[in-house]
Structures are given as structure tokens and as C-alpha cells.
Structure 1
């Protein structure tokens, strides 16, 4: 390579690509977390974030010069000296590798990022009952609110530190004139030192991680179900479980999963069949024995008995309410408040009670956030 005057080649191309994958994967996983319909993208970027963090941790021990942890400046005196010099000497010389601030920031990203990825996988397993840790749902689903808060707080904290880091880089770029913004684009820093070199094995390892990241993005984001998104809940066979429920209720509408409402709501619904959403259900429609069978089945599989997210969230939001319509549940209203009202009146949906229009396989008892498809 041709050495540039007054500059040092610090970051090889593979290192720069990994750096930007770390930054963009966290940013996009953070942004997509605010939209339920983008959960699959949130998961994909989160997995990539975890992969490249693991690479960066390994790279800290086996990487080229300036990338290893042994070159980091981690003493508090070094950190104090960095900020004092930064404020008092605009034209100071900069270190070719990580300065004290970027050394600490790298550890913050690795530490917080690892906890974010781990808590995200646990949350997916507990709350969504899907993914690599879906088995946790059966015994720990009640912990999902606490895990969610932990996961969210860590994400906001890392977003805060990332913002501070960006501000620091911009100060270096425009006040200290160190061209720091371009260092991770060109690989060169305006500093004194020896150009870094990287072996073929390290090159192959880093590019393999890059290809793996792109593969995970395509695999998760474009596939309806992968082992990263597979739910522990199988499709329910209502016909074999309760033929009266399957045949009689399914004659007029698709079967609503029993776990979507609590037992007292099902009691109210079944005891009020003389006014069933404007229709009168008589024994000519459903015999008394069939009504009793359906009622017993609904109570045996109501929200109180389920570890589905919708069951837990519904019970949590109801209080003393016992609605017979899911659209009256506070959790349902909160979850759908960002959806335009016109969507519920569209030809595809027609009514707010038509859960099946957006939730794939909902009539089989599948409630999976990765299967939400809102018609546009």
C-alpha cells in the first residue's frame, strides 16, 4: 500500500465494514422496535448486531494492531488527560488507535450490546414463545414485563452513548480538523504511527462474518418461518378437540381462539346467546348439550390457562371488565391505536373484529408477531 503523508493506515476494509454493520444493525433494530409489523426486521437486525458484537469481542484478542484490547487506553488518568487536552489544545496530535474515550466506548458497546441481544432473545422466548429460547415461555411468561423493561432501558442507554460518541466524532471533524469522520471510510487517520497489516486468515474470518450477517438478514427477513422465529405453539385442531365448537361456531365465522378472552367473558357470551352480536342463537341452531360442551371447552382454554402473549396482556389490562368482544379490550385498543381507522373498513379487513385478516393462522390458535401482515 502507498503510505499517505502525515497519515496512518489504521482500519482495514473488513474492520470498517464490521464497524458500520455494528452501527447500522443497532440503529435499525432500535427503530424497527417501535412497529409491531416490523418485528421480523427488528429480530433480523438484532441477530446481526449480536453476531458482529461476538466477532468484535474475538477481534479484540486476535485482530490486527490498533484493534486489540491490549492497545486500549483504559486508565482513568488517560481518560481525564484526553478530555483536558481535548478542551485546551485544539491542534493536539491524535493517537493512531483508540484514544481513551473510544476505548471506553467500545467496551460500553460490547457490554451493553451483549446484554441487549441476550435480553432480546430471552424476551422473544418468554413473551412471543418463539425463537431459540421459546421453551422459556411455558414457565417464565409472567416475567415478560420485567424483561421488556430491562431490554428497553439498556437499548435507550446504548442509544444515548452512541449519540454522545457521534457528537464527539463531529467535534473532532469540524473543530479539531482531524478528519475523524473519514477515518472509518478510508481507513486512514491524521496521526503518527505504523501502518497496520492484516493476515489472510484474519481477512477470511472477518469477511465470513460479513457474509454470515447478510445471510441472516435475508434468511430471517424474507422467510415466513425459520428456527429464529418458530413458535412453540402448534396449530390447534379444534375439530378433534371439540367438534361442537369447531362446527357450530365455525359455521358463521372463523373460530376465535379461546385464550383471547378470560373465563368470565366466555360465561357472559355463552349465557347471552339470545343476543349474540345482534343474532338470536336458539337450540335449533345449537342444542343445549352442544352449548354446554362449547362453554366447558372455552372455560378450559380461556386466557387464564394460556401462556400466549395476547392472553397475558389481555388479563393484565382488563381489571374488572369482562367484554365479549376483543376489540373492547384495553390492550387490543392500545396495540391497534397506530393503525388508521380506514384500514378496518377496507375491503380486505371490513371490520375491527376480523383478526384473521392481519394475523396469519389466528383461526388455528397462532398469535405470532412475526406473522402480522397489515394490508395497505
Structure 2
């Protein structure tokens, strides 16, 4: 390390890398949350965000000078003085480590970030029925809407603070000329103080976390593990009800019964004389078979399921009881970002062809981590 005139070495390379992993994993997880088919990436970046936050918490106690919590300026008076000097003294000297504002911002990131990651894990378990908390879905799926709201609100709140932080750094860089923007790139700060020293053990620990984060990205994004595995496995509808399977699959692939509520299935089964433009007669399905199929559908409908699509469908319908999933408000909302020309492709042909983008859909598998939109 070559000493620089009027600059102090504050942030070792491993600290800088962790800083950018924290920032990028949060922003990428936030951005991918708006696209259902990118759920696996959302999950991967969210998990990495949690890993590096946990590291930063430990680093606050065992890290090198300037990174530990004991060097933070957390007194309210210090925060007031910081902003007063910032306004009245453009050319003030800056502290080598965390100033009062960045000290508080670090705690905000750790606090809000921990809540976001925790609520995300619980939400994955209750709503998606997957991951290490997937078993929660069976008894607590009804709280998923509240968890989703809290998870979303906390994320936007942290995003707001991140934007404020970025604005503050830019003001320091271009107005106060403190070169603050480059401090997390070069490691040097335009300040006075002792150069940061980091031991081999700390170096090893930090780089182990960095490589583990990269490995996590690969595993979660591309592999099927306990982190992504769903409690909902393939269903054998033929074994569950052979009449339903054999009669319905003659004309189309099987749609899982939990996709629609009781009244929708009643409407559909009572209106077979005009079944999406086709007339189903007793020559096709006898009255006895119709009764059997209808009874099965009602025992397996959305009201009887803890599947995400069942819960979201019921939540969005209100008084509506459509017989087509593409008429469900939740379906429309979750597919609104998809280019309509995709539905016209040879392999899809229609928006009702769920099987084109959802592998094993005919077996009741509706997992966000497995969505594949044809190009």
C-alpha cells in the first residue's frame, strides 16, 4: 500500500467488495421482485443480501478500525453538528471513518435489511410453500397477505433511505469536493488519521463470505435445493380421480382443481352444454360421471387449498365467479407485464395455455422458481 498525500487508507478491498454486494444484492432483489418469472433470482439476491448483512453485523464487532461499531458517531448532538457544518462550511475537514450520518445509515440498513430478509423467508414459507419454512404454509398461509404488505413496505422504506444516502454522497463528492464517491472504490479517504490495518484471519473470513455469496447465487439460481424446494409435489390426478382425469384429458390437459372456487366449478359443470363453445353431452360424459367429477372438483377447489394461486384467486375475485382462469383479476395482474405477442407464438397459441410457461402444471405444480417464458 503506497501512502497518498492528504489521504488515509480506510476501507480494505474486502470491505469495499462487501459494501457493493450489500448495495447490489438489495437493488437487484428489489428489481426482480416485479417479475414472477424472475422469482428465483429475487430469492437468490435476497438470500445474498441476508448473508452479507449478517457478516456486516459481525464485522461491526471484529472488523478492522473504522468498520467497528465502537467508532460510530451515534450521539444526537454529533448528528446535529454534522449537518450544521455541512450547510455552513463547504470546505470542512471530514472524519476518516463513518461520520454521524453514515453511522446511523449503517444501522438503518442493518435493521431494516434484517426485517426485510426475515419477512421474506417467512413469506416464502407461508405464500410459496417453499424453502426452509415451507411447512408454515399448511397452517399459516392466511397471513401471507399481511407479510407481503410488510415485506413490500419495508423494502420501499429502505430504498428511500438508500436514495437519500446516494444523494448525500453525491453532494459530498461534487459540492464539498471530499472525493467521498471514490472512497468505496479506491479505499482512500481525503481525511486525516491512521491507515486501516486488517489481519490475515479477518481477510480470510471476509473473502470466505464473498465467495460463499457467489456460490449461493449459482446454487439458488440454477439448482434445486432445500432453499427452493416446494412442499407441493406432483399430484397424480388419475389416481386421485380416474373419471376426472380420463374424461377431461381427452380434450385438453388437466387443469388443477385449486385454480378456481366452488361456484366456478359448479357453473362450469352445470353448463356443459356450452363448454367454451363445445357441447358436452351424455355420450361424452354420462350424468353419473359428471356427478363424480363435480364432487371431486368441489373437494379440491380453491377454498380447500393452501396453494398460493388458490389464495390469491379467492382474494382477488370478490363476487366474481368466472369459469376461465384468464378472467381472474389475480391472473391478469400477475401476467400484465408479459408481451401479448408471446401468447400468439406457435407453442402457446392462447393465454389459457398455462402449460407452455409452467412445467408440470398438469400435475398441480405451480412454482414461481420454475416459470419459463418461451422466447
Q: Provide the TM-score with structure 1 as the length reference.
A: 0.98
**Correspondence 1:203 to 2:206:** no
Whole-angstrom distance in 2 between the partners of 1:280 and 1:331 = 29
Task: Note the alpha carbon deviations across 1:312-337, whole angstroms, 9 max, x for none.
Answer: 11111222222111111121122222
Residue range with higher mean Cα deviation, 133-142 or 98-107: 133-142
Whole-angstrom distance in 2 between the partners of 1:41 and 1:234 = 22
Q: For 1:61-72, what aligned pairs fall within 5 Å after superposition?
A: 61-72=61-72
Q: CA deviation at 1:356?
A: 0.6
Residue range with higher mean Cα deviation, 98-107 or 88-97: 88-97
Q: CA deviation at 1:256?
A: 0.4
User: What secondary structure, in the 3-state scheme, does the structure 2 residue paired with 1:352 have?
Assistant: coil
User: What secondary structure, in the 3-state scheme, does the structure 1 residue paired with 2:108 have?
Assistant: helix
- Indicate the residue corresponding to 1:39 in structure 2: 39
- Indicate the residue corresponding to 1:120 in structure 2: 120
Q: For 1:48-87, what aligned pairs fall within 5 Å after superposition?
A: 48-87=48-87
Task: Note the alpha carbon deviations across 1:192-249, whole angstroms, 9 max, x for none.
Answer: 11111111110110000000100011111123x2211111111101111101111111
Over 6 Å off, 4+ runs: none
- Indicate the residue corresponding to 1:151 in structure 2: 151
Whole-angstrom distance in 1 between the partners of 2:335 and 2:180 = 44
- Indicate the residue corresponding to 2:175 in structure 1: 175
- Indicate the residue corresponding to 1:258 in structure 2: 257
Q: CA deviation at 1:266?
A: 0.8
Unmatched 5+ residue regions in structure 2?
none
How many residue pairs are counted as aligned between the two chains? 375
Give RMSD over aligned pairs.
1.0
Whole-angstrom distance in 2 between the partners of 1:274 and 1:172 = 73
- Indicate the residue corresponding to 2:343 in structure 1: 344
User: What secondary structure, in the 3-state scheme, does the structure 2 residue paired with 1:324 have?
Assistant: coil
**Correspondence 1:10 to 2:17:** no
Whole-angstrom distance in 2 between the partners of 1:100 and 1:342 = 53
- Indicate the residue corresponding to 1:193 in structure 2: 193
- Indicate the residue corresponding to 1:237 in structure 2: 236
Whole-angstrom distance in 1 between the partners of 2:105 and 2:361 = 44
Unmatched 5+ residue regions in structure 1?
none
User: What secondary structure, in the 3-state scheme, does the structure 2 residue paired with 1:93 have?
Assistant: coil
Q: CA deviation at 1:166?
A: 0.6
Task: Note the alpha carbon deviations across 1:238-263, whole angstroms, 9 max, x for none.
Answer: 11110111111111111000000111
Q: Provide the TM-score with structure 2 as the length reference.
A: 0.98
Q: For 1:323-334, what aligned pairs fall within 5 Å after superposition?
A: 323-334=322-333
Whole-angstrom distance in 2 between the partners of 1:176 and 1:277 = 68
Residue range with higher mean Cα deviation, 299-308 or 264-273: 264-273
Whole-angstrom distance in 2 between the partners of 1:194 and 1:321 = 69
User: What secondary structure, in the 3-state scheme, does the structure 2 residue paired with 1:55 have?
Assistant: helix
Whole-angstrom distance in 1 between the partners of 2:121 and 2:154 = 14
Q: CA deviation at 1:86?
A: 1.0
- Indicate the residue corresponding to 1:373 in structure 2: 372
User: What secondary structure, in the 3-state scheme, does the structure 1 residue paired with 2:202 have?
Assistant: helix
Whole-angstrom distance in 1 between the partners of 2:334 and 2:255 = 18
Q: CA deviation at 1:160?
A: 0.6
